Amino acid sequence: MYDQNTRKLRIYVNGVAGTDSPEVPSAWNAVGGLQIGRGKSAGNPVDYWKGLIDDVRVYDRVLGDPEAAELVKLHPTLVARWRFNDGGAGEPGGVPVMDLHNGAVTDPAYGFRGHVGGLRLDDPGGKAFAESHSKVVDPSESFTIAGWVRNLGRPQQPATVFSQAGANVNAFDLRYVPGKEDPDQTGSWQIEMHNADKADDAALTASHSTFSEYDWVHIAVVYDGLRDRVSLYVNGQLDETSLGVSQEDQVLGFDTKDASLQVGRNKLGAADGSEFWPDAIDDVWAYQGALTQEQIGQLAGGQELDTENGP
């Protein structure tokens, strides 16, 4: 950005201003065409950009700091919402249905406080889950998955709430992991993501220590592809403790092609069923894009919002 009043240049990276240039002695009107992806020197093309460029905008005025920050925001798009009030129907129209498996049912008595119903996963077989009939989100791009989860005390084995699998590893899986030394008293929510669909790809993990036994909790995983960051919210809040914030950086994600969203299980989990969620899940929202903490707070407010009134 060039400000004719101050006669200085300014650069913004991801909406954040850098240091202004010294005063430009004399600005002049260049009549050549705008170059995107290369420079020109003495009439010759130079310095080609080796990568991708998208959404280029040109203004004939100075932008303020708030406007520059707004340009960076990736406004999320709601792609699916399942109330689980009566079956696995999705909203708005055209959203893939949730197929209910192995004794999973919707039950009026299993909905979050005040909600009409919820997804019941406590079948005696222990392997009940729901699965979207088709792909919902692309985990290589920014996305958000959020919903209410109920527990019957601390699970004694890892138990999954949401996941989406590639051929070899999960693109993401959100689960509760009990503490190793004292599982009756300790444990945490964890979101794991992988950068590549390879069996030896290291998992990138963010943890959240908040857990209320025998109660409902709102869980949200937000992947911000612009900042390569995954965030884990519980009841609308990040975990800000001495151990750090429930976020992990340098996360790239990968596309799972046609893989469906798993609700209540880890498709690549242990064969004995230890990865299944043992109680209830309700009101799941899925976005392509990263919701803000304020928007997550709307979903965690406790009311069953109309779909059109959601973030």
Candidates 162, 166, 91, 89; CA nearest to 121 is: 162
> Same domain for 106 and 248?
yes
User: Do 183 and 279 share a domain, yes or no?
Assistant: yes
- Residue that terminates a domain, selected from 30, 50, 72: 72
Q: What is the C-alpha separation between 223 and 302, in angstroms, rounded?
A: 23
Measuring CA to CA, how many Å separate 86 from each of 2, 251, 284? 57, 36, 14
Query: Do residues 31 and 39 touch, judged by C-beta distance below 8 A?
Result: no
In a 13 Å sphere around the CA of 202, the CA atoms on its Cβ side amount to 4
| Nearest in space to 163 (alpha carbons), one of 125, 142, 137 | 137
Residue 120: beta bridge partners?
105, 280
Under 8 Å between Cβ of 96 and 134: yes
Please check whether residues 150 and 239 belong to one and the same domain. Answer: yes
268 and 181 in a common domain? yes
Q: Band of the pLDDT at 126, cuts 50, 70, 90?
A: confident
**Whether pLDDT at 271 is above 80:** no
10 Å CB burial of residue 208 (0-12, 13-18, 19+) is buried
Mean pLDDT of 293-310: 94
Q: Are residues 123 and 245 in the same domain?
A: yes
Three-state secondary-structure class, residue 159? strand
Are residues 43 and 136 located together in one domain of the fold?
no
Claim to verify: residue 103 and residue 2 sit in the same structural domain: no
- Give the residue-averaged pLDDT of 124-130: 92
Q: d(Cα 19, Cα 106) in Å, to the nearest integer? A: 56
At residue 281, does pLDDT exceed 80?
A: yes
Q: Quick one: pLDDT at residue 242?
A: 67
pLDDT recorded at residue 62: 93
Query: In the prediction, which pLDDT does 273 show?
Result: 58
Mean pLDDT across the chain: 92
Tokens of 253: 């994600």
For residues 267-272, average pLDDT: 75
pLDDT at 264: 96
Can you tell me which residue has the tokens 């612009």? 226
Give the H or E element holding residue 162.
Answer: strand 159-165
Check which CATH number belongs to the domain holding 295 and give it.
Answer: 2.60.120.200
Question: Tens of pLDDT along 129-147?
Answer: 999 999 999 999 999 999 9
User: In whole angstroms, how large is the CA radius of gyration of the chain?
Assistant: 23
Q: Please tell me whether residues 119 and 239 are part of one structural domain.
A: yes
What are the pLDDT digits (tens) for 85-102? 999 999 998 898 999 999
Q: Which domain holds residue 15?
A: 1-72
Last residue of a domain, one of 39, 72, 105: 72
Residues 61 and 110 in one domain: no
Mean pLDDT score, 172-180: 94
Last residue of a domain, one of 38, 54, 72: 72
Integer Cα distance of 256 and 135 in angstroms:
9
Which residues have C-beta within 8 Å of that of residue 210, sequence separation ≥ 6?
189, 217, 234, 235, 237, 239
231 pairs with which residues across the strands? 222, 247
Which residue type, as a one-letter code, is found at position 261?
L
242 & 107 share domain: yes
- Among positive and negative, which fits the CA dihedral 199, 200, 204, 210? positive
Q: In this structure, are 145 and 20 located in the same domain?
A: no
Q: Beta 2-3 vs 129-132: how paired, if at all? A: unpaired
Q: Does position 272 have pLDDT exceeding 70, yes or no?
A: no
- Same-domain status, 241 and 186: yes
Paired strand residues for 135 = none
Query: What's the confidence (pLDDT) of residue 192?
Result: 96
- Locate 44 and state its tokens: 């010759």
Peptide bond into 124 cis (omega under 30): no
Quote the number of domains for the chain: 2
220-266 per-position pLDDT tens digit: 999 999 889 999 999 999 997 766 689 999 999 999 999 999 999 99
